[in-house]
Amino acid sequence: MRLKTILAAVAALGVTALNAFAQNSLVEVDDNVQVTAFSAKVDEIDDLDVYNAAGTKIGEVEDMVGTDKSTPTALIIDFEGTEGYADQDVVVPIDQVVWENDRLILSADTDTVNAMEVWKD
């Protein structure tokens, strides 16, 4: 029984360490960088509202992050805690969001988003 407890603790620490490593490997992208997926600069995307497929506002873009200051790979979305999304800042890959009808639309469902990395700044 003690061995199972120790193994569970080690596994939990490993997951925590991987999440910390993942976040530490991301950096904020410079405001003047073009985000090809949205045909806009980072500065133009910051603070935009984010909607779900039903057209309900679910959050706001807090920042863009990437592997370096000129390579955006994800948005930091501040979810409002509505429509099943937890009230937290989440790292959402760019390919999970589309620019449609002058809006950012999240394509990922609530379960997928709630399993994504939480951004701690």
Look up the CATH architecture of domain 27-114: Roll (2.30)
Indicate the domain borders of the chain. Answer: 27-114
Question: Is the confidence at residue 56, as pLDDT, over 70?
Answer: yes
Return the pLDDT at 24.
62
Q: Is the dihedral of CA 81, 84, 89, 95 positive or negative?
A: negative
Q: What angle do CA 95, 99, 105 make, to 5 degrees?
A: 75
For range 96-116, the mean pLDDT:
95
Q: How far apart are CA 87 and CA 108, in angstroms?
A: 16
Q: What does pTM read for this prediction? A: 0.79
Q: How does the average pLDDT of the chain come out, rounded?
A: 85
- What is the pLDDT averaged over residues 26-46? 96
Residue 97: its pLDDT value, please? 97
